[in-house]
Amino acid sequence: MRAEDVAAVVVAVVVPVLTAAVGVFAVAWQDRQASRSQTGRRLRAFEDATRQVDFAVLWWEARQRLPGSPEELGNASRVAQHWLDQASALVVSAGPGNVDPPRRLSLARLLLLYRFRYTAARFIRAGFFAMLALMAVAGVGVPSVASSVGSGADLGWSLTWLLLFALITLLLRFRAVSADTLRRP
């Protein structure tokens, strides 16, 4: 084997491994971003509620110092209670804290071997599996093309197809996950 052939075989082995590594990294990144966005929403809700409670307390104290009838004080009490109820509802609407443990990165999650809710996501997952199979066939074919004599152009095309299949496989994987999660209530 020539040096070009060895390089082609190495590339044929590295492309699927690199594709898997990029997939693992992307899934871990998606999990981190989802966790951070949920935490950020909850933190903002708590900050807004705290400001609203602080304002209600200050307003109530100021209202008590002003002269007025017991009826006006009762109305002010209802207004302050309403503001406190709104602040409480804001915190409740932000959802629970870190109640759910973080999802583990598993082979089943990486290869989409779990139940999907929506038909469109299932069809996209089928396309993902088809492209995964094409990528495997193209990867297996590269060493045989590299070992044949005078196959420089064929080797280039084999590697091009392998890279194209890897890219489409990754895109279909991410699209299947987003099609299933975007529609969830």
pTM: 0.53
pLDDT, tens digit (0-9, with 9 covering 90-100), for 20-44 = 788 788 777 777 776 677 777 787 8
Which region among 42-46, 54-58, 102-106 has the lowest average model confidence (pLDDT)?
102-106
From the list 118, 136, 104, the residue with the least C-alpha distance to 178 is 118
User: pLDDT value at position 130?
Assistant: 94
Q: How far is CA 89 from the centre of its chain?
A: 27
Q: In whole angstroms, how far apart are CA 31 and each of 49, 83, 99, 118, 175?
A: 27, 35, 15, 21, 15
Cα(177)–Cα(3) distance, rounded to whole angstroms? 41
Q: Tell me which DSSP letter residue 149 carries.
A: T
Number of H helices, E strands in the chain: 5, 0
pLDDT, tens digit (0-9, with 9 covering 90-100), for 154-173 = 777 888 888 888 889 989 98
Cα(153)–Cα(157) distance, rounded to whole angstroms? 6
> For the chain, what percent of residues have pLDDT higher than 90?
12
pLDDT at 110 over 90: no
